[in-house]
């Protein structure tokens, strides 16, 4: 809950969760009930630092994913490599063919990172998010398994075990 309500995290989220334990428990129970949702706590040097989540569409073999780093001191240190662990897992251990990412306008570092890591920018969802009394556009981006397999050789060292629980650890 502390991470989900930090300004540097919520700034680029579609929602604005409030610091409220009762609502946090409702949110947690809701995601726990959804068989197509997956959440992992990211650890670095045995310290929990962030979260990775995905919503899977089994029929069409894609997922919509998101991540954030709740501990600000780790953003520059590992922000760009967390996706690599996720992509290696998704495209080597699952049947997923496509990963979808939605990036809010203004989050240019993540947009550039996704493009560097093989995403195609499909389009812009105009006025897609309404928060803080303002509409925000959202970039719709897709990473295909075939694109990842063309460039993955340079990123193969980024491996983590997502399958054994609800957390994974980044290498130093």
Structural tokens at position 23: 């609502």
Buried-exposed string 76-110: b where 16+ CB fall within 10 A, e elsewhere: eebbebbbbbbbbbbbeeeebebbbbbbbbebeeb
User: In this predicted structure, what is the pLDDT of residue 86?
Assistant: 94
Tokens 């947690």 -> residue: 28
pTM check: above 0.85 = yes
Which range among 6-10, 33-37, 131-135 shows the weakest confidence by mean pLDDT? Answer: 6-10
Tokens 């949110």 -> residue: 27
**Listed residue (16, 161, 14) closest to 5, CA to CA:** 16
110 forms bridges with which residues in the sheet?
none
Percent of the chain with pLDDT over 90: 52
Whole-angstrom CA distances from 63 to 27, 39, 57, 150 are 20, 13, 6, 20
Measured distance CA(101)–CA(45) in Å, rounded = 27
Are 109 and 72 within 8 A, CB to CB? no
Residue 111 has pLDDT above 80, yes or no: yes
Cα-Cα-Cα-Cα torsion 20, 22, 26, 27, nearest 10 degrees, comes to: 20
Residue 31 is given by DSSP the state H
Q: In the structure, what pLDDT confidence band is assigned to residue 136 with cuts at 50, 70 and 90? A: very high
Q: In the structure, what pLDDT confidence band is assigned to residue 8 with cuts at 50, 70 and 90? A: low
Q: In the structure, what pLDDT confidence band is assigned to residue 57 with cuts at 50, 70 and 90? A: very high
Say which CATH topology domain 7-170 has: Aminopeptidase (3.40.630)
């Amino acid at each position: 809950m502390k991470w989900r309500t930090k300004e540097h995290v919520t700034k680029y989220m579609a929602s604005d969760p409030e610091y409220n334990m009762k609502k946090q428990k409702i949110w947690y129970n809701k995601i726990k009930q959804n068989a197509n949702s997956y959440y992992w706590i990211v650890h670095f040097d045995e310290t929990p630092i962030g979260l990775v989540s995905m919503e899977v569409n089994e029929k069409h073999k894609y997922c919509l994913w998101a991540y954030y780093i709740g501990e600000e001191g780790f953003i520059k240190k590992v922000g760009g490599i967390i996706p690599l662990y996720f992509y290696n897992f998704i495209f080597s251990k699952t049947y997923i063919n496509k990963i979808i990412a939605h990036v809010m306008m203004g989050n240019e570092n993540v947009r550039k990172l996704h493009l560097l890591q093989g995403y195609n920018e499909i389009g812009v969802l105009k006025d897609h998010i309404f928060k803080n009394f303002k509409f925000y556009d959202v970039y719709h981006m897709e990473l295909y398994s075939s694109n990842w397999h063309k460039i993955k050789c340079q990123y193969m060292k980024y491996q983590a075990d997502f399958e054994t629980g609800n957390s994974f650890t980044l290498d130093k």
